[in-house]
Structures are given as C-alpha cells and as structure tokens.
C-alpha cells in the first residue's frame, strides 16, 4: 500500500485536493479526523480530544486501506495530530508520536498557506497559518518524511500534486503494485 498524505495548516485546499486525487487515481480517501471530531463535538476541542482524534484517524485509515487499490489518499494523518497537539496544548501523548513515526506515509503533500483563508466553525487560526506551516515543515523533516511543497493557485496545486504522485508511481515498488495502470485519464 502506498499512502499519500495531504498535510499542512488549515484552509489550504487539502480536502478538495484529496477528493480530486482519489477520483483521478480511482481509489479511496480518508477525510480529516480532527474536523469530523470538532464538528461532532460542537464545542472547543481540549487536550483530552487529541487521543480520540488519533484513534479515530487510525481506525478510518486502516478501514480505508482494506478498500484501497494500492494507493490510499489521506486528508491529514497522525503527523497533523501531533503538530496541532503541540501547537494548542504544548505537548502530545507519546504513543501518538510513536504511531505517527510508525505510520509514516510514502509521500506528504505539504500545502503552503498562500491561498485565502475562509473562516468556518472548525477553523480558528487563520492568522497563524505561516507559524503552523513552519511547524509542519519541522515535523516532516524530523520524521525523515518525503514531502513536496504544494503552492500556488488551484490548478498549480493540482498539477504539483499529480507530478509528485506520478513520480512516486514511476518507482519500481509502485509498478509491482500495478498502480501505474490504474489512473483515470484526465
């Protein structure tokens, strides 16, 4: 299974691009667990919610992996949970950090906060997206993760993501999974 994670600060197009990539590559994608948890809770998240968000994400990712056809698209992963836990609460549970390392994806598409921020009930840090972007850069570097910066207008973001995935799919391991022939024509 090859996992591609769309990550970065809020309101940078991760969800929209994750859905589009899953359709393009005829596979499944996993929505952001933190957003779903925040919407279901209907109140401000607390440190105690972080563990539930992490467990929810892992369960959703594991279930989706059973249905994916070699390529799984994730709208964030445990790296995001770790970054936001440190950002909001100053720490993160050690087991979540261990799981983030153990579940490191093959590719991270790191969304740059260079698109307009649109408020909604689950977003609250529009003025701090640059700070969060830097935290994601540090976390991915510390993890030794393969990442590609996704920036620009929406067509540029889409093109960058597709190029990064195509590069990954051209590698020998992807060919063994038969992924290079599973793309939908554009």
Residue 91 or residue 35, greater confidence: 91
**Whether pLDDT at 79 is above 70:** yes
Residues written for the chain: 186
pLDDT band at 179 (very low <50, low <70, confident <90, very high): low
Phi/psi for 84 (5° steps) reads -70, -35
Domain boundaries, the chain: 2-178
| Pairing assessment for the beta strands 107-111 and 147-150 based on DSSP bridges | parallel
| Closest-CA residue to 79 (of 98, 56, 52) | 98
SS3 149: strand
What are 31-50's pLDDT values in tens digits? 999 988 988 888 888 999 99
Domain spanning 2-178: CATH 3.40.50.300:
yes
User: Is-above-0.85 flag for pTM?
Assistant: yes
Dist CA 4 CA 2 (whole Å): 7
């Amino acid at each position: 299974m090859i996992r591609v994670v769309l990550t970065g600060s809020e309101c940078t197009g991760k969800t929209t691009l994750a859905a589009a990539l899953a359709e393009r590559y005829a596979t499944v994608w996993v929505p952001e667990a933190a957003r779903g948890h925040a919407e279901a809770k209907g109140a401000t998240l607390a440190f105690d919610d972080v563990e539930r968000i992490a467990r929810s994400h892992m369960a959703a990712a594991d279930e989706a992996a059973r249905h994916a056809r070699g390529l799984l698209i994730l709208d964030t992963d445990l790296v995001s949970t770790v970054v936001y836990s440190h950002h909001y609460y100053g720490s993160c549970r050690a087991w979540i950090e261990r799981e983030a390392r153990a579940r490191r994806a093959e590719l991270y598409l790191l969304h740059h906060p260079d698109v307009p921020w649109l408020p909604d009930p689950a977003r609250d840090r529009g003025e701090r997206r640059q700070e969060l972007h830097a935290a994601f850069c540090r976390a991915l570097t510390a993890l030794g993760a393969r990442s590609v910066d996704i920036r620009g207008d929406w067509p540029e973001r889409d093109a960058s993501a597709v190029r990064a995935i195509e590069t990954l799919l051209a590698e020998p391991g992807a060919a063994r999974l038969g992924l290079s022939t599973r793309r939908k024509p554009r």
